[in-house]
Amino acid sequence: MDTSTTSFIVESLTRAIVEHRLQPGAKLVEQKLADQFGVSRTLVRQALYRLSQNRLVQIAPARGAFVSAPSAAEAQQVFEVRRMLEAGMVRAFVAQAKASDIKALQMHIAQEKLAVQSDDVPGRTELLGDFHVRMAQLMHNEVLAQLLADLISRSALITLMYQSSSAAAHSHEEHEAIVQAIKARDADTAIARMDAHLRHVEDALNFSQHHSVTP
């Protein structure tokens, strides 16, 4: 029961960070969270430790836990890793995807479109990130899915800190173009489009902004 409760707290706080309801540098008070979730501070502490392992939370000795505030260098490294990882994923997906897998991705794209059109900010944020994880899940590669989920959570935090303008509709269109190339079994084009997509997301970030949110 304790493990599942800790996981629930981790998932809830991750979602709050990804959906930009918790800001970089925000202090996470153990007692306040314990009251909110109706659990002991021990379980909250375990959850915060797990979030710190995912780099979403920074624990400062004698000062407590804070939502991480990634540096520009770390942000660029996250996107560099994603480009390397997702290029290999797309190639493998094109090689092994069944028609039903491609159909599942198309259904995900349709959900994205609805969320973007209805200006559902939390929904579209989650769906745009989940597109990448969904591909790994359809390959039945849980290790890759977990790695990507962690990287995408970190990307969401980076986007919150450095994004200069909203590019949700553009991201959705690029996802659509990637799936079209996958459906055509054109691995090279799909990889090129994924690479361009991740570079566009990174290019929309303004690293010249100064963020003094050190705990």
Q: Is domain 72-203 in CATH 1.10.287.610, yes or no?
A: no
Is the pLDDT at 18 greater than 90? The verdict is no
Neighbours of 82 (CB within 10 A): 23
Q: Enumerate residues 6+ apart whose C-beta is below 8 A from 55.
A: 68, 70, 150, 154
pLDDT tens digit sequence for 134-180: 999 999 999 999 999 989 888 888 887 776 545 677 889 999 999 99
Closest C-alpha to 123, from 115, 131, 135 = 115
pTM: 0.79
For the chain, residues classed under CATH 1.10.10.10 are 2-67
Pair of tokens at residue 84: 């390397």
Closest C-alpha to 189, from 91, 79, 101 = 91
For the chain, residues classed under CATH 1.20.120.530 are 72-203
Pair of tokens at residue 70: 């990634």
Q: Is domain 2-67 in CATH 1.10.10.10, yes or no?
A: yes
In the prediction, which pLDDT does 3 show? 60
Is the pLDDT at 42 greater than 80? The verdict is yes
